[in-house]
Structure 1
Amino acid sequence: MNNPQPALSNDQLISVLAQGKNAVAIHTTDKFNIRYASNAMLSIWGKGPDVVGLPLAEALPELEGQPFLGLFKRVWDEGITVSGKDTPADLLIDDELQTFYFDFEYRAMTDDAGKTYCILHTATDVTERFLSRQREQALQEEMRAANEELFSANEELNAANEELVQSKEVLQVTNDALNDSETRFRNLVKQAPIGICIIRAHDLMIEDVNDSYLELVGRTRSEMQNRTIWEAVYEAAEVYAPIMNQVINTGVTFKAREAEVMLVRQGVDQRFFLDFVYEPIIYKGRVDSILVLVIDVTDKVMARRSIEEMEERARLAIEAAETGTFDLDLVKGVMLTSPRLDTIFGFQHSVSWEEYAAVIHPDDQSARTMAHQQALKTGKLFYEARVSFPDKSMHWVRIQGQVYYNDNKKPVRILGTVLDITQFKQLQQQKDDFISIASHELKTPITSLKASLQLLERMKDNPSPQVLPRLIEQSSRSMQKISALVDDLLNVSRANESQLALNKAEFNIFQLLENCCNHVRVVGKYNLVVKGDANLKVYADEHAIDQVVVNLVNNAIKYAPDSLEIQLSVEKENDMIRVSVKDSGPGIAPEKIPHLFERYYQGNADGYKNSGLGLGLYICSEIVKKHGGQIGVRSEWGEGSTFFFTLPAAE
Structure 2
Amino acid sequence: MKSNKDILNSLIERSPYPIYVISGQELTISIANAATLKAWGKDETVIGMRWRDALPELENQPFEHLLLRVLATGEAYRAVNDRADLMIDGEMKTAYFTFSYEPVYGNDKDVIGVACYATDVTSLVKATKQVELMSEETRQINEELAAINEEISASNEELGALNEELAATNEELTESHHLLELSEKRFRNLILQAPFAICVIRASDLMVTDVNDRYLELVGRKREKIDGLTIWEGVPEAADAYAPVMQQVIETRKAYMAKEAELFLVRNEVSELMYIDFVYEPVIDLLGIVSAIMVVGIDVSEKVRARKSIEEIEERIRLAVQAAEIGTFDYHYNSNELVTSDRFNEIFGVKSGISREKIIASYHPEDQNISNEAHALGKDSGKIFYEARVMRSDSMRWVRIQSNIYFDINGEPERTLGTVIDITEYKALQQQKDDFISIASHELKTPITSLKASLQLLSRMKENPNPSILPRLIDQSTRSMDKVTDLVDDLLNVAKMNEGQIRLKKDWFVFAEMMDKCCNHVREVGKHELLFEGDHKLMIYADEHRIDQVIVNLVNNAVKYAPDSKDIIIKIEQQGNIANVQVQDKGPGITDDKIPYLFDRFYRADQSGLQVSGLGLGLYISADIVKRHGGEIGVESQIGKGSTFWFTLPINGEAI
In which range does the TM-score fall when normalised by the shorter chain?
0.5 to 0.7
What is the CA–CA distance in structure 1 between the aligned matches of 2:281 and 2:584, rounded to whole Å? Answer: 89
Per the alignment, in what secondary structure is the counterpart of residue 538 of structure 1?
Answer: strand
Distance (Å, rounded) in 1 between the aligned partners of 2:289 and 2:540: 94
Distance in 2, matches of 1:137 and 1:508, equals 101
For residue 462 of structure 1, report the CA deviation from its aligned partner: 6.8
Partner deviation per Cα, 1:322-342 (whole Å, 9 max, x = no partner): 443434444554433333333
What do residues 218-259 of structure 1 show as CA deviations (whole Å, max 9, x unaligned)? 323322233211110112112111222333444443222222
**Conserved 8 A contact 2:626-2:647:** no
Equivalent residue number for residue 132 of structure 1: 7
Unaligned runs of 5+ in 2: 20-97, 101-116, 139-162
Note if contact 2:533-2:572 (Cα within 8 Å) is conserved in structure 1.
Answer: yes
CA deviation profile, 1:259-288 (whole Å, cap 9, x unmatched): 222222222223333232323445667654
TM-fit CA distance, 1:548? 1.4
In 2: Cα distance, 1:296 partner to 1:417 partner: 40
Higher alpha-carbon Rg: 2
Seen in structure 2, the aligned counterparts of structure 1 residues 238 and 584 have a Cα distance that, compared at 3 Å, is farther
* Correspondences of 1:599-638 after superposition (within 5 Å): 599-604=601-606, 609-625=611-627, 627-635=628-636, 638=639
Asked if the contact 2:511–2:536 (Cα under 8 Å) also holds between the matched residues in 1, the reply is no
Question: Where does residue 291 of structure 1 map in the other structure?
Answer: 294
- Asked which structure has the greater RCO (Cα within 8 Å, sep 6+), the reply is 1
Amino acid at match of 2:495: S
Partners in 1 of 2:262 and 2:18 — Cα distance? 28
Structure 1 equivalent of residue 423 of structure 2:
421
Aligned to 1:241: 243
Aligned-partner Cα distance in 1 for 2:570–2:16: 102
Separation of aligned partners in 1, 2:16 and 2:557: 97
* 1:136-535 superposed matches below 5 A: 136-138=11-13, 142=17, 177=176, 180-181=179-180, 184-192=183-191, 193=194, 194-281=196-283, 287-365=290-368, 367-368=370-371, 370-376=373-379, 379-392=382-395, 394-403=396-405, 413-452=415-454, 461=464, 463=466, 465=468, 469-500=471-502, 502-513=504-515, 515-521=517-523, 523=526, 525-531=528-534, 534-535=537-538
How many Å separate the matches in 2 of 1:641 and 1:174?
A: 119
Q: 1:345 to 1:532 in 2, by over 3 A?
A: farther
Offset, 1:538: 0.8
Q: Are the equivalent residues in 2 in contact too, given 1:631–1:644 (CA < 8 A)?
A: yes
Partner of 1:543: 545
Q: Distance in 1 between matches of 2:309 and 2:607?
A: 61
Which one-letter code corresponds to 2:366 in the other structure? D
Separation (CA, whole Å) in 2 of partners of 1:235 and 1:509: 76
In structure 2, the partner of 1:86 is none
Separation in structure 1 between the aligned mates of residue 505 and residue 388 of structure 2, nearest angstrom = 48
Name the stretch that deviates more: 474-483 or 254-263: 474-483
Residues 128 and 257 (structure 1), Cα distance of their counterparts in 2 relative to 1, 3 Å cut: closer
Q: Distance in 2 between matches of 1:533 and 1:237?
A: 85
Q: Does 1:556 align with 2:592?
A: no
Q: Identify the residue that residue 39 of structure 2 maps to in structure 1.
A: none
Q: How many residues align?
A: 517
Instruction: Tell me the equivalent position of 2:56.
Output: none
* RMSD of aligned residue pairs (Cα, Å): 4.3
- Secondary structure (helix, strand or coil) at the match of 1:432 reads helix
> For residues 203 and 151 of structure 1, what CA distance do their matches in structure 2 show?
30
Output the amino acid matched with 1:441: E
Segment of structure 1 superposing worse, 356-365 or 585-594: 585-594
Distance 1:269 1:489 in 2: 62
Code of the residue aligned with 1:559 in structure 2: it is Y
Q: Secondary structure in 2 aligned to 1:528?
A: strand
Name the CA distance, whole Å, in 1 between partners of 2:401 and 2:367: 13
TM-score, normalised via structure 2 length: 0.66
The amino acid that maps onto 2:210 is D
Shift of 1:182: 5.0
The AA in structure 2 aligned to 1:633 is G
Alignment of 1:78-97 (within 5 A): none
Q: Answer whether contact 2:199 2:296 (CA < 8 A) is retained.
A: yes
Tell me if structure 2 keeps the 8 A contact 1:324–1:341.
yes
Work out the percentage of aligned pairs sharing the same amino acid.
Answer: 46
Check conservation: 1:190, 1:210, Cα contact below 8 A.
no
The answer (yes or no) to whether the contact 2:555–2:568 under 8 Å persists in 1 is no
Alpha carbons 2:572, 2:579 under 8 Å: kept: no
Distance change in 2, residues 1:282/1:412 (3 Å): closer
Q: Which one-letter code corresponds to 2:634 in the other structure?
A: V
Q: 2 CA distance for matches of 1:420 and 1:399?
A: 9
> SS state of the match for residue 435, structure 1?
helix
Cα deviation for residue 613 of structure 1 reads 0.8
Instruction: For 1:536, give the aligned amino acid.
Output: M
CA distance in 2, matches of 1:648, 1:179: 106
Pairing partner for 1:649 from 642, 648, 652? 652
Give the SS at the match of 2:531.
strand
- Could you say what secondary structure the match of 2:420 adopts? strand
Contact 1:406 1:412 in 2 (8 A): yes
Write the distance in 2 (CA, Å) between the matches of 1:129 and 1:312: 32
CA distance in 2, matches of 1:620, 1:580: 13
Deviation at 1:410, TM superposition (A): 5.3
Cα offset for 1:475?
A: 3.9
Distance 1:343 1:610 in 2: 42
Tell me whether 189-198 or 634-643 shows the greater mean CA deviation. Answer: 634-643
> Contact 1:247–1:253 at 8 Å: present in 2 too?
yes
Provide the C-alpha distance between the structure 2 equivalents of 1:247 and 1:372, rounded to a whole number of angstroms: 62
Q: Spell out, residue by residue over 1:395-446, the C-alpha distance to the aligned partner (whole angstroms, 9 max, x if none).
A: 3223334455566665555444333333332232222212211221122233
**In 2, distance between residues paired with 1:607 and 1:488?**
17
User: Residue 615 of structure 2: SS of its match in structure 1?
Assistant: coil
Q: Take 1:136 and 1:322, find their aligned partners in 2: how far apart are those partners?
A: 56
Paired with 1:134 and 1:230, the residues of 2 have a C-alpha distance of 29
User: Counterpart of 1:556 in 2: which secondary structure?
Assistant: helix
Q: Which moved more, 1:543-552 or 1:169-178?
A: 169-178
Tell whether the 8 Å contact from 2:580 to 2:647 is kept in structure 1 after alignment: yes
